[in-house]
């Protein structure tokens, strides 16, 4: 670890391949790199397929290279041809390797004459892991079918043949044909006034990694929230969402003051159907968001500030491999806090920081040692599992530590210079540390040593001197939790009528893992938590009530977890049910009926919970 902290600044000038090997991609960027994607897609809702033609512009790195290797998963290849500098096309031979469960199929294209471009005609599979197709009945308004993508971490290869690694950045343009009446949006510049004529064209002029390729299509309306922002959603949701996110323009301006200009032109967002598996996905120009954050009081708008922050940390400066994922998520969670503080106040920002820190303190000790590190030693971990709460919460905690040690007067300009220096690049942890050493640690000696930095990045657990914000409201809630669980404070005397979402989340998070049944019943009688429309509160309530043995909440818990496809809000409830034989049987029956409405990633997580529970009971 000490050796890594002494990297010379000149290391930043070395080719990326000298630093990073991506275990989740077959691509060989040291031989040839894709620089631009020209994509032509036709949406086929009846067959739940994309009929595609991908034309890849190539930069030949090795003059002796004889093939182009791409990542694919379950694509049906119809033809591949090379295109020379004059535009002449000729057929190429290729081999599609057997499917690997995680990586998909390696596509090797013979290219001895080094064509300027390669064109691939293909169809996706209805089971593409990066796409979800919904019938009309599965949408909110039930008028048109819906489709959306989720390419992170390595699912872009299931709908486009390409070099599917965050180390490789491409520009792209796309032509998409769809049934009339359907709106299509992509992670590119979108026109909220585009006619719904079935013919859409998109341009992404900035180089982005493949996991940020995104598309959605369906019965989608649009409403402006500012001169360079708009909200897209199904018609019944769009006005409500636009009101919830009316501060988007203010968020953009706030971040620009801190960290430099917003470089992507427009910042739009789309609220997807409930089956979307994440809170938000930072696709450039078009954040994809879950409807579970539209609660009417802006209390969960931090999800949008997080995805907006990715426009600087993640989209602008990107992790080179998923092992370096904290460069995306830790930096973004820190910037999110600064946006929240500026727009909604320091009290809310501190509460959110404490929520995540306390949760991490509780969970990190149960993780394998390697998983506790910001930059773990690469191992046999699925790409989708490479990012954990450590990347988000320990990463942001580390940056808050830097802020405290150096002060905002020094740290804010440093962070802005970091975004400027590495703009539109994919970098490793070691490249970031070399820049940190030269431009902050050495510039202000005596504030923090590289040994302390290394403890944060390569060490396990949380350093003992890690600073925490204070919250008088949370201190009060800690006292109430202690008294309530001790039986000296009745549920109806909690005085919680003015608690915000974060305060209810904190209260429920601080309850024992297996609380007393009578106390949970009294809490529900006093505050009517069963059936709450707030999914953040609901998830926490149901897992505690189920753990306490309150079967009266089971139907409402089932409705919650089958209505919502967001993994973070659904999986814990399934996990709570799976802790007992009766609960496991109940959850399996619920899942059997709801499965078709879940995203493939959500299905994977839930089925993993069932498998783990059965393995445990068999021992």
Q: Is there a catalytic annotation at residue 152?
A: no
586 — phi, psi (to 5°)?
Answer: -65, -45
Facing residues of 280 across strands?
A: 289
Provide the token pair at 371: 């998983």
Contact 399, 341 (CB under 8 A): no
Any idea what DSSP says for residue 83? E
In whole angstroms, how far apart are CA 423 and each of 259, 260, 444?
12, 11, 24
In whole angstroms, how far apart are CA 71 and each of 99, 210, 218?
11, 11, 28
Query: Which listed residue (392, 414, 418, 506) is catalytic?
Result: 392
Would the annotation count 329 as a binding residue? yes
Provide the token pair at 428: 């490793």
The beta-strand segments (E) located in 312-424 are 317-319
Facing residues of 453 across strands?
A: none
Q: Is there a catalytic annotation at residue 307?
A: yes
Would the annotation count 193 as a binding residue? no
Separation between Cα atoms, residue 541 and residue 501, nearest integer Å: 12
Separation between Cα atoms, residue 43 and residue 174, nearest integer Å: 13
Contact 138, 219 (CB under 8 A): no
Query: Which listed residue (307, 351, 503, 536) is catalytic?
Result: 307
Contact 139, 219 (CB under 8 A): yes
Contact 230, 447 (CB under 8 A): no
Contact 245, 299 (CB under 8 A): no
Query: Is the sign of the CA dihedral 324, 327, 330, 333 positive or negative?
Result: negative
Which residues have CB under 8 Å from 112's CB, separation 6+? 66
Would the annotation count 310 as a binding residue? yes
Task: State the DSSP H helix or E strand holding residue 233, giving kind and residue range, or none if neither.
Answer: strand 229-233
Nearest by Cα to 22 from 165, 223, 194, 208: 165
Residue labelled with tokens 């909690």: 494
Separation between Cα atoms, residue 221 and residue 226, nearest integer Å: 16
Residue labelled with tokens 């609220």: 271
- What is the four-CA torsion angle of 10, 14, 20, 25, rounded to 10 degrees? 160
What is the number of other CB atoms lying within 10 angstroms of the CB of residue 16?
Answer: 18
The SS3 assignment for 483 reads: helix
Contact 271, 294 (CB under 8 A): yes
Binding residues: 306, 310, 329
Binding residues for Zn(2+): 306, 310, 329
Which residues are known to be catalytic?
307, 392
């Amino acid at each position: 670890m000490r050796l890594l902290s002494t990297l010379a600044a000149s290391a930043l000038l070395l080719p990326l391949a000298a630093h990073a090997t991506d275990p989740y991609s077959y691509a060989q960027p040291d031989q040839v790199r894709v620089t631009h994607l020209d994509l032509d897609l036709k949406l086929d809702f009846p067959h739940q397929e994309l009929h595609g033609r991908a034309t890849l512009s190539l930069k030949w790195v090795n003059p002796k290279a004889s093939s182009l290797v791409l990542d694919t998963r379950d694509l049906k290849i119809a033809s591949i041809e090379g295109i020379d500098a004059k535009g002449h096309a000729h057929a190429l031979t290729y081999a599609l390797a057997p499917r690997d469960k995680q990586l998909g199929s390696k596509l090797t294209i013979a290219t001895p004459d080094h064509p300027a471009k390669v064109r691939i005609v293909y169809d996706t599979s209805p089971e593409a892991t990066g796409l979800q197709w919904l019938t009309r009945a599965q949408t909110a308004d039930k008028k048109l079918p819906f489709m959306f993508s989720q390419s992170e971490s390595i699912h872009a290869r299931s709908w486009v043949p390409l070099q599917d690694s965050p180390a490789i950045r491409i520009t792209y343009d796309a032509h998409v044909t769809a049934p009339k009446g359907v709106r299509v949006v992509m992670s590119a510049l979108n026109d909220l006034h585009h006619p719904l004529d079935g013919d859409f064209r998109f341009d992404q002029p900035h180089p982005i990694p493949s996991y940020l390729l995104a598309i959605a299509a369906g019965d989608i309306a649009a409403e402006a929230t500012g001169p360079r922002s708009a909200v897209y959603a199904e018609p019944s949701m769009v006005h409500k969402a636009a009101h919830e996110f009316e501060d988007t323009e203010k968020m953009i301006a706030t971040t620009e003051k801190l960290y430099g200009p917003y470089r992507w032109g427009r910042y739009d967002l789309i609220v997807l159907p409930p089956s979307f598996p994440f809170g938000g996905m930072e696709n450039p120009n078009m954040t994809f968001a879950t409807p579970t954050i539209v609660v009417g009081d802006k209390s969960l708008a931090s999800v949008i500030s997080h995805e907006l922050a990715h426009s600087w940390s993640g989209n602008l400066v990107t992790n080179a491999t998923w092992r370096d994922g904290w460069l995306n998520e830790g930096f973004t969670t820190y910037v999110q806090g600064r946006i929240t503080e500026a727009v909604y106040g320091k009290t809310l920002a501190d509460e959110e920081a404490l929520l995540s820190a306390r949760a991490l303190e509780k969970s990190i000790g149960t993780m394998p040692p390697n998983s506790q590190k910001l930059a773990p030693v690469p191992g046999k971990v699925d790409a989708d599992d490479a990012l954990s709460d450590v990347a988000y919460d320990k990463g942001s905690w580390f940056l808050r530590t830097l802020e405290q040690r150096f002060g905002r007067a020094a740290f804010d300009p440093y962070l802005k210079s970091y975004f400027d220096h590495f703009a539109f690049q994919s970098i490793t942890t070691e490249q970031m540390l070399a820049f940190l050493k030269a431009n902050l640690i050495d510039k202000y000696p005596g504030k923090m040593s590289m040994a302390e930095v290394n403890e944060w990045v390569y060490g396990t657990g949380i350093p003992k001197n890690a600073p925490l914000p204070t919250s008088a409201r949370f201190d009060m809630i800690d006292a109430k939790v202690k008294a309530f669980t001790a039986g000296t404070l009745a549920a109806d005397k909690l005085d919680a009528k003015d608690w915000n979402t974060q305060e209810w989340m904190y209260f429920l998070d601080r309850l024992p893992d297996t609380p007393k049944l009578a106390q949970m019943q009294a809490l529900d009688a006093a505050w009517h938590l069963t059936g709450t429309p707030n999914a953040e509160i609901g998830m926490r309530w149901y897992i505690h009530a189920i753990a306490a043995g309150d079967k009266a909440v089971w139907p409402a818990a089932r409705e919650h977890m089958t209505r919502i496809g967001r993994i973070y809000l659904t999986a814990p409830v399934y996990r709570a049910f799976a802790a007992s034989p009766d609960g496991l049987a109940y959850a399996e029956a619920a899942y059997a009926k709801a499965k078709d409405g879940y995203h493939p990633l959500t299905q994977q997580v839930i089925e993993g919970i069932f498998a783990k529970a059965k393995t445990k009971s068999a021992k």
